[in-house]
Amino acid sequence: MIRRLTIENYRCLRAVTMNLEPLTVLVGANGTGKSSVFAALGSSFSPVDRWARDATVTVRVHAEHATGRADERHVPQSGQKWEGTRDFPHAMVLQLDLQLIRQANQLQEMRQLATNGYGVANVFGTLTRKEQDEIARQFCTLVPLFADVAVRPHAAGNHRVVFQDRWHPTLWYEPHQVSDGSILLLAFLLLPYQSPPPDVIAIEEPERGLHPYLMGQLVGALRRLANGELGPRPVQVLLATHSAELLEFVEPREVRFFNRSKDTGETIVREAPVDDPSWKQTLREYDDSLGDLWLSGGLGGVPGR
């Protein structure tokens, strides 16, 4: 698990160091660098990713692990790709595309979703019957309009996921007939069952399309993934969100607040001041609602002129 992450000269992250938890949530206005943290952990690099597009700077990502090990990779001056530690943590940065999640898959064994969400039917179909049943059970508990989830053959060697109506057992819905939130939820529920699991999963706006009531279940599932209660080993989870509801289900120490410096434009990351003597009283004034406290603006990570 990455305990401390330092990123230098990558997009707006000129010199950012942040402590990470098994589950860490990034909040901030649009354009404050949350996605850049995810991208810095991903595999691709483009020259326009350098700080201020300055070809003379070295881009560097340094990860200190809970075990004491440290990995580093960098793109040297005028370099075009990442160099450095071979076993730099493998991060799966999800940028889920609803169209692709819904798309019928060319039948093949697949043990990991594509980062854009393609492959739900293949990954689901590759799981054991027991794992499929467990995912279907979790899904139908959270979206009780449905009684089951299965994969069915489609045209010309394709198959797709279908959803059984709770009240009419012969009625199965196609992926495009199911809500965005439901389809995203199914993709999230597959994450712990991927093999081999990545070291880190980063998800942008996991709340997209989800009813606030489901947020706690989603965060709970991701937390179990992060703690190693699901799957063969813990997978560190990073979330970027604009959802105050999601913050109701995480601990203050798990949240990082993103802003841009008014002077230089570089990203500044803050933690909640949980060691401040008045922190407990502050939280009490907000009825222990981290979401409300964040929206007040007193912690940072909100828009402003």
Partner 1 sequence: MSTRILLYAEGPGEDRGPLVWLPEPGELLTAEMLGPAHLLVARVVARDRNLPEAAVQFLSPLRLGPRPHRGSDLLVRKNLRRLLTIADPTRRPDVAIVLVDEDGHGDRRRRLLQDLADLELPHVIAVPVREFEAWLIADHAAVVAVLGNRDRPQDPESMQPREAKDQLRSWIDDRVPEGLDRPRRTEQTGQLRADLARRVDLGILAALRAFAQFCEDLRAALAD
Interacting residue ranges for partner 1, rule: CB under 8 A: 244, 259, 262, 270, 272-273, 276, 278-279, 281-282, 285-286, 292-293, 295-300, 302-305
User: Shortest distance, CB of residue 27 to partner 1, whole angstroms?
Assistant: 13
User: Shortest distance, CB of residue 259 to partner 1, whole angstroms?
Assistant: 7
- Residue placing its CB nearer to partner 1 in the complex, 76 or 303: 303
User: Shortest distance, CB of residue 278 to partner 1, whole angstroms?
Assistant: 6
Residues facing 3 on adjacent strands: none
How far apart are the C-alpha atoms of 302 and 29, rounded to whole Å? 5
Amino acid sitting at position 68: G
Structure tokens at 190: 């597959």
- Residue placing its CB nearer to partner 1 in the complex, 216 or 303: 303
Tell whether the torsion through CA atoms of 141, 146, 147 and 149 is positive or negative.
negative
Work out whether strand 23-28 and strand 236-241 pair parallel, antiparallel, or are unpaired: parallel
How far apart are the C-alpha atoms of 163 and 166, rounded to whole Å? 9
How far apart are the C-alpha atoms of 200 and 1, rounded to whole Å? 8
**C-alpha angle 34/39/45, rounded to 5°?**
145
- Residue placing its CB nearer to partner 1 in the complex, 33 or 198: 33
- Residue placing its CB nearer to partner 1 in the complex, 177 or 278: 278
Burial class (CB in 10 A: 0-12, 13-18, 19+), 146: buried
Is the bond into 196 cis (omega within 30 degrees of 0)?
A: yes
- Residue placing its CB nearer to partner 1 in the complex, 159 or 256: 256
User: Shortest distance, CB of residue 294 to partner 1, whole angstroms?
Assistant: 9
Distances (CA, A) of 209 to 243, 279, 290: 11, 33, 21
- Residue placing its CB nearer to partner 1 in the complex, 9 or 259: 259
User: Shortest distance, CB of residue 296 to partner 1, whole angstroms?
Assistant: 4
User: Shortest distance, CB of residue 15 to partner 1, whole angstroms?
Assistant: 19
